[in-house]
Amino acid sequence: MGRYYDVWEGIQYRLATPGANGLTAAYNAGNANIYGAELDFTGRLGRFTLSGSASLNDARLSTDFCAIQSRANPNPYPTCSVADGHVKAPKGTRLPNQPIFKGSLTGRYEFATGEWQNFLQATANHQSGARSFLGIFEDSLLGDTDGFTTFDFSLGTKIKNSRIELFIQNAFDKRGELNHNTFCNITICGPVARRVYSIRPQFFGIKLSQRFD
C-alpha cells in the first residue's frame, strides 16, 4: 500500500468564455492539494487466486478560483472573495474528471482436465462519480457523473503451445459515464446540448494463440 500528498501550484484550466465562439483558452485557476492512496494485493488458496487493486484520489482547490473579468478583459480577477461575488469555485472544490475511488477485484480458478490446463475468471470493476466542471454554476448545468460497476468474465484452456479463451467485458452492458462536456460555452449549451462520454459497451470474443518454439 502506498500513500501520497501533492501540492499543485499554478493550475492551468481551459475555458470557453462568452463571445469566444466556443474557442477555449488556458487560464490560471490557483492551487490544489491532492491526497491519495493505492493498494494492490494477491492471495492464493489452492487452485483459487484472489487479486485486486484500489486507488483513492482526493484533489481539491486550496485557493479560490476567480471568475473571468469581462469580454473585453477575458482573464480571471487577480483576487476575489465571496463578498465581491467574483469566486467561480471556492477553496475546497473538487477538481473535475477525477473519481475519488477506483478499484477492481478478480477471482480466478485453475484446474486440469487431462493434459488441458483450464481456468475460470471473474472481475468486478468500480469507480465513483466525478465532478464535470470546476466552476460551481457551470457544473450545476452539466451535472456530475455517477459511480458505476461493471463485470468481466472469461474462461479458457491451453494444451502445450495452443491456447483458446472466451471472454465478455462489461457483461451486463452498463453505460457508465466518464465525462460530461459541451461543444460551446456551458452557460449556453450546458442545459440543452451536453455531450456524455461513456465507457465501452458490452464486448465479447474469442482469443486464439499458438506459440512456436
- Whichever domain contains 118, its CATH number is 2.40.170.20
Could you give the CA distance from residue 28 to residue 19 in angstroms, rounded to a whole number? Answer: 19
Mean pLDDT of 24-31: 79
Give, rounded to a whole angstrom, the gap between the first and last alpha carbons of the chain. Answer: 39
Mean pLDDT of 43-67: 95
Locate 29 and state its grid cell: 485557476
- pLDDT greater than 60 at residue 22: no
- pLDDT greater than 70 at residue 1: yes
* Inter-residue contact 178 to 204 (CB < 8 Å): no
pLDDT digits (tens, 9 = 90+) for 171-188: 999 999 999 888 777 877
Task: Provide the percentage of residues in the chain whose pLDDT is more than 90.
Answer: 61
Query: pLDDT-derived band of residue 154, with 50, 70 and 90 as boundaries?
Result: very high
Domains in the chain: how many in total?
1
Residue 42's CB is within 10 A of a number of other CB atoms, namely 10
- pLDDT greater than 70 at residue 99: yes
| Mean of per-residue pLDDT scores for the chain | 90
Domain of 99, in residue numbers? 2-210
pTM value is 0.86
Sign of CA dihedral 185, 186, 189, 194: positive
